[in-house]
Amino acid sequence: MPAADDDTLFPFTLPNLCKKKVTAAFDGGTISSDGGVFLLVGADRRLGLIDRLATLFPDTRDLAQITHSMADILRERIYAIACGYPDGNDLDTLRSDPAFKMACGRLPESGTDLASQPTISRLENAPVLRDLIRMSRGMVDLWCQSHVKAPKSIVLDIDDTADIVHGHQQMSFFNAHQDERCFAPIHIYDADTGHCVTTILRPGKTPGGKEVRGHLRRLVRRIRLHWPKTRILIRGDSHYGRTEAMDWCESNDVDYIFGFGPNAVLAAQIFPRLDACNVQRAIGQLDKVRTFAATRYAAKSWLRTRRVVARIEATAKGADVRYVVTSLKWGSAKHLYERVYCARGQAENLIKRHKSQLASDRTSCRSPLANQMRLILHTAAYWLVRTIRDAIPASEALASGEFSTIRLRLLKVAVRVRETPSRIRLAFAANCPDAALFRDLVKVLIPHPT
């Protein structure tokens, strides 16, 4: 019988089935519900991610008193996030989980337990600003180095998202649009691959021109250390189309396409096209007529004229005109708006994966530095899950699955672990619906000699 003070192991009953009594207890032994953590291990080895982060993280602890290495603590925390455990408190239980222990290089039964929540909390609160900058730069370096050769061009989507706070954390602002106190972290993605390049914690307000210019300058300069000849296109909505940002891009051979707000001067320039749309819709009794126009425009704060593209739409409810400003000289107005600019909408889906499916909005620390550290950890988890998804054959339905679906189908897999003096045996559920895919991914992500 279990100890009297451990009531979680006491048996309980379920309704009878076919005249047979059903009893249950949490006494199944060394069983883990996260057998798919081994896929995360393979993804981590392929990227070399966590070991790289550990080298960038300052470890000021007394070496004689260390039980858990920095790499082990980071690995445990990032794997837990990817498996759906975003809180450090979860590690108080997971530290004894046999699958997590094996993923961190420890024996499942006889090995020492992993780090607990207090150690995790100290880790998140340890870095100073210089350390976080070094880690963020290191992740950009790792992303660049993951390419076999420098690409001819890349498209970077920049956007921010509301991160509602749960108290009066430092650097949180009241946002009138959200009607909440929040952060507004910036996310930057590689549009071609969906790779999260970097995430930056910031106050819950619209970024100003100098701030946008600073973020772009630091990122582009880091990328060009690796790819000096790669063409870079920055895409963002209207509050990134600041004068300072566009001036800097033009001075540093960086292309951009940003949303742009309407004004009376632009409205006068495109009025003939809008009037023609209204006439065409009325004559043809159509629900909607859409056309495009391109013009040159210079705001009072601009040093030069710039190309502005307008999407003009006449509907039964009235006119709808949207503008973008760009440094691109090629392409028709329709192509630039529909094919180039509107494609940035995919970044919003990527932010949803990062934020809601990997819980990167769990920025509940008091210190903004600790919250930035959490963003880095969640971004690392994003990298690992995305690497697993990229390894799935295109013929499989999960090749285009959401991160939450991949977690449910491939990471949350039950496994019984048995350790003997000579070997460790993993017994996965016999009726696992994705057993064949899981086995193939192990071969791809964790190659080993037969």
With 80 as the cut, is the pLDDT of residue 27 above it? no
In sequence order, the 6+-apart residues with CB closer than 8 A to the CB of 13 are 21, 22, 23, 24
My answer on whether 422 and 278 are in the same domain is: no
My answer on whether 138 and 180 are in the same domain is: yes
pTM of the model: 0.91
Average pLDDT over residues 69-84: 94
pLDDT in tens, 37-70: 999 999 999 999 999 999 998 788 887 888 889 9
My answer on whether 231 and 208 are in the same domain is: yes
Q: How far apart, in Å, are the Cα atoms of 299 and each of 221, 242, 310, 335?
A: 28, 11, 16, 24
With 80 as the cut, is the pLDDT of residue 210 above it? yes
4 inside domain: no
pLDDT band at 314 (very low <50, low <70, confident <90, very high): confident
424 inside domain: yes
How far is it, in rounded angstroms, from Cα 177 to Cα 175? 6
My answer on whether 50 and 199 are in the same domain is: no
What is residue 22's predicted lDDT score, i.e. its pLDDT? 85
How far is it, in rounded angstroms, from Cα 120 to Cα 72? 11
pLDDT band at 450 (very low <50, low <70, confident <90, very high): low
Helices (H) and strands (E) in the chain, counts: 15, 16
My answer on whether 139 and 271 are in the same domain is: yes
With 80 as the cut, is the pLDDT of residue 134 above it? yes
pLDDT in tens, 93-131: 999 999 999 999 999 999 999 999 999 999 999 999 999
What is residue 178's predicted lDDT score, i.e. its pLDDT? 83
273 inside domain: yes
My answer on whether 67 and 192 are in the same domain is: no
242 inside domain: yes
- Here the contacts of 164-172 (C-beta below 8 Å, separation 24 or greater) are 164/361, 165/204, 165/363, 165/364, 166/364, 167/364, 169/363, 169/364, 169/365, 169/366, 169/368, 169/371, 170/366, 170/367, 170/368, 171/201, 171/202, 171/203, 171/368, 172/203, 172/204
392 inside domain: no
My answer on whether 105 and 149 are in the same domain is: no
My answer on whether 226 and 316 are in the same domain is: yes
429 inside domain: yes
Range of the structural domain that residue 61 is part of: 31-126+414-445
How far is it, in rounded angstroms, from Cα 171 to Cα 375? 15
The domain boundary, picked from 349, 364, 379, lies at 364
My answer on whether 120 and 134 are in the same domain is: no
My answer on whether 134 and 56 are in the same domain is: no
My answer on whether 133 and 120 are in the same domain is: no
pLDDT band at 9 (very low <50, low <70, confident <90, very high): low
7 inside domain: no
How far is it, in rounded angstroms, from Cα 186 to Cα 351? 10
Average pLDDT over residues 355-375: 93
Q: Which amino acid is at 415?
A: V
| Rounded percentage of the chain residues whose pLDDT exceeds 90 | 68
Average pLDDT over residues 14-24: 85
112 inside domain: yes
Q: The CATH number of the domain where 324 resides is what?
A: 3.90.350
pLDDT in tens, 140-199: 999 999 999 999 999 999 999 999 998 778 888 888 888 889 999 999 999 999 999 999
My answer on whether 191 and 323 are in the same domain is: yes
How far is it, in rounded angstroms, from Cα 56 to Cα 60? 12
The domain boundary, picked from 303, 330, 364, lies at 364
Q: What is the mean pLDDT of the chain?
A: 90
What string of H, E and C letters represents the secondary structure of 81-130? HHCCCCCHHHHHHHCCCHHHHHHCCCCCCCCCCCCCHHHHHHHHHCCCHH
Which residue carries 């994705």 as its tokens? 434
Q: Which of 436, 369, 416, 450 is nearest to 102 (CA)?
A: 416
pLDDT band at 3 (very low <50, low <70, confident <90, very high): very low
The domain boundary, picked from 335, 364, 393, lies at 364
What is residue 62's predicted lDDT score, i.e. its pLDDT? 81
Give me the number of domains the chain comprises: 2
